Amino acid sequence: MNKESALRAYRTMRLIREFETQIAREFAAGTVPGMTHLYIGQEAVAVGVCHELGNDDFIASTHRGHGHCIAKGCDVGLMALELFRKEGGICKGKGGSMHIADVSKGMLGANAIVGGASPLAGGAALAIKLRGQANVAVAFAGDGAANQGTTLEEMNFAASLKLPLIFAIESNGYGEHTLADYAAPGDLTERAAAFGMAAEKVDGTDFFAVHAAMERAVKRAHSGKGPSSIECVATRWHGHFEGDPQLYRPKGEVDALRRNSDPLKKFRATATKKKLGTKKEFDAIDADVENEVTKAVEAALAAPQPDLSELLTDVYATY
């Protein structure tokens, strides 16, 4: 990877971190309607997976989808408007945090149904296969979603039809307030492999590890070898949703994560070693990104609500 590409990756990870941090602040201030699930701690997964993808590659996302959106190239200004459910939002304010989408970017939506994304991503992968395109579809699924029948059946389905589909399993150790080990005695990577697909487990806090696994999976997909699974072991720094008291977490767990499992710190260290960026460059990106997100949030806060006539539009293309 060249320097320009690495700095772009860092910028995207920082954009996610900054966006989520400011949304967390706003949520605490009571300005964000509805439920919100933040992505902080998992930035390297979304960016590692999406870094080389274009608009003709598709992703289907989860309830924790802001990071996936940003990594797939969605505009943070339009995203902010959507989270505040304002006019001009990426979904006109009608979708909100759990349905944020930009189909033109190949981002087929966050999803409020756990396990909802995998079958949809399979459909996008099927379209790619039928059109003979050199593209892929990615199904994001948490370690909790991996226990939903829809996710499991899609793994076999994709293997059976040799779909250019990549399962990005985000193992952050929790599903809501339940520990992943309690919910799934088996190993998620072995489970995926048993369906007859290539499956590997990587450090989801290491952008370069995720990115490399993704390259292998994309190559397999392009050469008609069918689906792959990449289990990305990362950590969730915030509650399941904002406002979660997190009594189920041992004291100090999150502080330790911030110290030892920060995907951005790791990126800076590795990239610096690899001469892919300097402290000065990273700091400049941080400042630039903070400014960009601050503007986006301010604009969204100031924006008007959708016009009431929007209630009845967009139900059907024709009716």
Partner 1 sequence: MAIKTFREAINEALREEMRRDDSVFLIGEDIAGGMGGHDGAPGSSGGMLGVTRGLYNEFGSDRVIDTPISESAIMGAAAGAALAGMRPVAELMFMDFFGVCFDQIYNQAAKFRYMFGGQSNTPMVVRGMVGAGFGSAAQHSQALWPIFTHVPGLKVALPSCPADAKGLLISAIRDEDPVIFLEHKVLYDTKGEVPDGEYATPFGIANVTREGEDVTIVAFGRMVLFANEVADRLAGEISVEVVDPRTTSPLDTEVIIESVECTGRLIVVDEANPMCNLASEVISVVATEAIGALKAAPIKLSAPHTPVPAAPNLEQAYIPSADEIEQAVRRVFAA
40 is a site residue for ligand TPP (CB under 6 A)? no
User: Residue 242 corresponds to which amino acid?
Assistant: E
Q: Which is nearer to partner 1, 4 or 319 (CB)?
A: 319
Q: Which is nearer to ligand TPP, 210 or 221 (CB)?
A: 210
Asked whether the beta carbons of 47 and 9 are under 8 A apart, the reply is yes
225 is a site residue for partner 1 (CB under 8 A)? no
302 is a site residue for partner 1 (CB under 8 A)? no
193 is in the binding site of which of Mg ion, partner 1, a second copy, none (Cβ under 5 to 8 A by kind)? a second copy
175 is a site residue for ligand TPP (CB under 6 A)? yes
User: Residue 62 corresponds to which amino acid?
Assistant: T
Asked whether the beta carbons of 166 and 141 are under 8 A apart, the reply is no
Longest dimension (CA), the chain: 59
Total residues at the site for Mg ion (CB under 5 A)? 6
58 is a site residue for ligand TPP (CB under 6 A)? no
36 is a site residue for ligand TPP (CB under 6 A)? no
DSSP 305: P
Asked whether the beta carbons of 37 and 116 are under 8 A apart, the reply is no
What's the distance, CA 20 to chain centroid? 12
CB within 8 Å of 161: residues ≥ 6 apart:
126, 129, 226
What's the distance, CA 253 to chain centroid? 23
User: Residues 26, 143, 154, 281: which binds ligand TPP (CB under 6 A)?
Assistant: 143
142 is a site residue for Mg ion (CB under 5 A)? yes
Do you know the residue count of the chain? 319
Residue with CB nearest Mg ion? Answer: 142
The pattern of x and - marking residues 24 through 53 that bind partner 1 according to CB under 8 A reads ---------xxx------------------
Question: 133, 316, 150: which is closest to 224 by C-alpha?
Answer: 133
Min dist CB 43 to partner 1, Å, is 24
Backbone φ/ψ region at 176: left (φ over 0), alpha (ψ -120 to 50), beta: left
Q: Which two tokens stand for residue 41?
A: 């701690």
Q: Which stretch binds partner 1 (CB under 8 A): 39-47, 225-233, 262-270, 303-311?
A: 303-311
112 is in the binding site of which of a second copy, ligand TPP, Mg ion, none (Cβ under 5 to 8 A by kind)? ligand TPP
17 is in the binding site of which of partner 1, a second copy, Mg ion, none (Cβ under 5 to 8 A by kind)? none
Min dist CB 145 to a second copy, Å, is 11
